[in-house]
Amino acid sequence: QLGLGVATEINADEAYHAYREIRLLVLSVLGLTVLLLASLLVRLTRSREKAVGLAENATLVSNQLQKEISVRRKVENVLRESDEYIRAIVNSVLEGIITTDESGKIETFNPAAEKIFGYKDSEITGTDFRILVADTHQGLLEKRFERYRASGTSGLPGSSLELKGRRKKGTVFPMELSISEMRPGVTRKLTMIVRDITKHKRLEKKLRQLSSLDGLTGIANRRTFDRALDLEWQRASRNADPLSLIMLDIDFFKDYNDSLGHQAGDDTLKKIAGTLRILFKRPGDLSARYGGEEFVVLLPQTGPGGAGLLADRLRSEVEMLGIVHPGSHISKVVTISLGVASLVPKRGSRPEELVSEADKALYQAKDEGRNRVVKKDLIEHTVELKSGAE
């Protein structure tokens, strides 16, 4: 059999050309794909680097914040401890510590202040500080506060004042007030330190008394007499008033001590001083121990007549004490001799003149037998008043 077939002529160049175009297309697509993948890879790499950088920055920021938080906590702890420490000190001191605003309104009041004034912190906070000051010193403090509010330089801050304080019960007491200024911000505040100086004042008074009194007899001493004589001399000179002085001495006192001992002698001095206290009570009269067994009595506004009568009465009162004197040459009991001088101070004269004349009169009384009064009247003339043993 004869087979039939179809013969087709294929051009090799055309086929190869088509193949090449397809190949180029595939390669182009592959190239673009590679480029896209490479670009994506670069972007991914950069994103990763940024992410790593951000993470590192976040870590640094976190660490820094942790450090700052730690430092802040430490500072807060230090401040808290400091505040507690300061509060503990303020609450333990013996002085009252009070803080106020610039107008004087109380803001804090420590336990010592509570004890001094009798107020609790809760009831006094917000009250004007001047409630703690006696009425007699309100004006002084108010003026200082007014100047301070106006200028801030009133002399309040840094000043120390002695004022009369007033307790809750209304009692008044001496206090020392020290004031200083604080400026914690834009506002001005005051810190006041208060001391109750009642005991201090009592001690001062006692010391003044001790320094002015004779330690044995309890009457004025020589120093006090000298000061009083100067003052009364000046006053009498201005007013042309008479001024009298009695000077007295225990008769045969050395013999008394030799016979009975110094303790008995001290007891006798005390008894005579007691008689002086009883007899001379007028304001201005001053009895003093002048030295040893010698006493003086200063009599302002008293002339020779009155001074002489008082001296004679004193001589009699001492004799009537009946103190046995085994060493006396004139009596069985203790007696005294007295000299009295009276004058009106003149310009240019000195107090020593009165003392000198009284001393002369005393020695004259001794020379004439003791247990007597001799009066020197320097105003008019010299007269003797004699009594007792003749």
Q: For residue 297, is pLDDT > 90?
A: yes
Same domain, 103 and 229: no
**Mean of the pLDDT values across residues 237-266?**
96
Instruction: Considering the candidates 232, 293, 319, 357, report the single residue annotated as catalytic.
Output: 293
Q: pLDDT at position 66, please? A: 74
Quick: pLDDT tens for 316-331.
Answer: 999 999 999 999 999 9
- 6 located within any domain: no
Quick: pLDDT tens for 70-124.
Answer: 767 766 666 565 656 556 665 667 788 999 888 889 999 999 999 999 999 999 9
Same domain, 238 and 372: yes
Q: For residue 13, is pLDDT > 70?
A: no
Quick: pLDDT tens for 202-227.
Answer: 988 888 877 899 999 999 999 999 99
How many domains in the chain? Answer: 3
Q: For residue 182, is pLDDT > 70?
A: yes
106-109/294-300 β-pairing: unpaired
Last residue of a domain, one of 92, 111, 130: 92
Q: pLDDT at position 1, please? A: 47
Q: Which residue has the higher pLDDT, 377 or 17?
A: 377
Q: For residue 256, is pLDDT > 70?
A: yes
CATH number of the structural domain spanning residue 291:
3.30.70.270
Same domain, 62 and 131: no
- 44 located within any domain: yes
Exposure pattern of 306-317 as b/e (b: 16+ CB <10 Å)? ebbebbbebbee
- 383 located within any domain: no
Last residue of a domain, one of 65, 92, 119: 92
Q: Which residue has the higher pLDDT, 270 or 183?
A: 270
Whether 294 is catalytic is: no
Same domain, 232 and 365: yes
Quick: pLDDT tens for 339-371.
Answer: 999 999 988 889 999 999 999 999 999 999 999
Same domain, 347 and 310: yes
Q: Which two tokens stand for residue 303?
A: 């002339």
- Give the span between the Cα atoms of 357 and 345, in whole angstroms: 13
- Give the span between the Cα atoms of 363 and 359, in whole angstroms: 6
- 325 located within any domain: yes
Q: pLDDT at position 22, please? A: 67
- 3 located within any domain: no
CATH number of the structural domain spanning residue 178:
3.30.450.20
- Give the span between the Cα atoms of 328 and 322, in whole angstroms: 13
Structural domain including 356 reads: 213-377
Predicted confidence band of residue 181 (pLDDT cuts 50, 70, 90): confident
- 206 located within any domain: no
Judge residue 191's burial from the number of C-beta atoms within 10 Å of its C-beta, 0-12 exposed, 13-18 middle, 19 or more buried: middle
Last residue of a domain, one of 142, 166, 196: 196
Residue 376's H or E segment, with its range, is: strand 373-377
pTM above 0.75, yes or no: no
- 68 located within any domain: yes
The greatest distance separating any two alpha carbons of the chain, rounded to the nearest whole angstrom, comes to 215
Same domain, 24 and 102: no
- Give the span between the Cα atoms of 241 and 345, in whole angstroms: 8
CB within 8 A of 370, min separation 6: which ones?
251, 252, 330, 335, 337, 389
